[in-house]
């Protein structure tokens, strides 16, 4: 069984896996690509033999809608962390933002954030970050396929992006703010698509649980 779950804000990807395991009583349950706790949207979950499909699903392109708060930055690059620095926001318009966004199109290298599940020498980076330990991270090749400006109001830029596997949208948000001459972190992130799976076709955990109970009755 392959499920297109609309992960709610505040849940970890593993929280969703645990919940699906509890509902279905399946021992083997996995997900197709971590989605940060502060984010919502498409999380692909598979059970039983279908977990074999997750490797292929994880490798597909993903689409997001994100909002950057300009003028300050947090240690996690999202709302989960604490503000560590502030900087004045220079004056610019939509055209300037569009030009900056377009500089990220195509292949580029990105340094993974310390607050991430990526492992270095067997240790998850966020475990080190929580102990205030920062280690050198090697840049990873990513590919931004599409990027568009959706809105710019006061200190907030909302954009949509389609990118390759392994792209950290939190880092992209920080890098966009830096190219605009300021600082920034993500205040919202929605994953709208994973491969052919769309948020429009996703199911909430509550809906899935209800349908499952009816199917087992």
Q: Is-contact 73 161, C-beta < 8 A?
A: no
Q: Check if 40 is active-site.
A: no
Long-range contacts of 28-32 (CB under 8 A, 24+ apart): 30/54, 32/57, 32/58, 32/194
Alpha-carbon torsion (203, 38, 27, 59), positive or negative: positive
Among the listed residues 36, 40, 78, 175, the single catalytic one is 36
Alpha-carbon torsion (55, 138, 34, 64), positive or negative: negative
Question: How many Å from the N-terminal Cα to the C-terminal Cα in the chain?
Answer: 19
Active-site residue set = 36
């Amino acid at each position: 069984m392959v499920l297109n779950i609309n992960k709610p804000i505040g849940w970890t990807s593993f929280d969703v896996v645990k919940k699906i395991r509890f509902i279905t009583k399946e021992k083997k349950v996995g997900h197709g690509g971590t989605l940060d706790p502060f984010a919502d949207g498409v999380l692909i979950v598979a059970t039983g033999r279908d977990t074999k499909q997750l490797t292929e699903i994880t490798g597909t392109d993903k689409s997001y809608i994100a909002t950057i708060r300009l003028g300050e930055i947090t240690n996690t690059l999202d709302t989960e962390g604490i503000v560590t620095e502030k900087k004045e926001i220079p004056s610019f318009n939509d055209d300037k933002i569009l030009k900056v966004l377009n500089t990220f199109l195509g292949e580029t290298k990105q340094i993974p954030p310390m607050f991430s599940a990526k492992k270095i020498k067997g240790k998850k980076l966020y475990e080190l970050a929580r102990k205030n330990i920062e280690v050198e991270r090697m840049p990873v090749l990513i590919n931004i396929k599409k990027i568009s400006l959706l809105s710019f109001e006061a200190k907030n830029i909302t954009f949509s992006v389609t990118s390759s596997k392994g792209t950290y949208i939190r880092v992209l948000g920080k890098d966009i703010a830096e190219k605009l001459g300021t600082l920034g972190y993500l205040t919202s992130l929605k994953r709208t698509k994973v491969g052919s799976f769309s948020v429009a076709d996703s199911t909430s955990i509550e809906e899935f649980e209800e349908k499952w109970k009816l199917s087992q009755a």
